[in-house]
Amino acid sequence: MSEIARRVWHEPAVFIGLLASIALAVITLATGDPWDTATIAGVAAPLVSALGIRELVTPTGGKPES
């Protein structure tokens, strides 16, 4: 859990994903929709995708091709 907390603090995409997941959870609770598998996946999707995106957008450190 501390790794997720560290990434939330240091990586803006993860922080935004967490905020989006919290907002979706609040909306789901406020509307009274049932919590099924699709709802849980929809609420968790922004955070999970933000946790995985960093490896795809971080440069490898090589020189760009000209």
> Which tens digits make up the pLDDT trace of 27-52?
999 999 899 999 999 999 998 888 88
Q: Are 46 and 22 in contact (CB under 8 A)?
A: no
pTM: 0.74
| 66 pLDDT above the threshold of 60 | no
Higher pLDDT, 58 or 12: 12
The contacts of residue 35 (CB under 8 Å, 6+ apart) are 28
Which helix (H) or strand (E) is 25 found in, with range? helix 12-31
Q: What is the per-residue pLDDT for 12?
A: 85
- What confidence score (pLDDT) does residue 61 get? 60
Q: Are 52 and 11 in contact (CB under 8 A)?
A: no
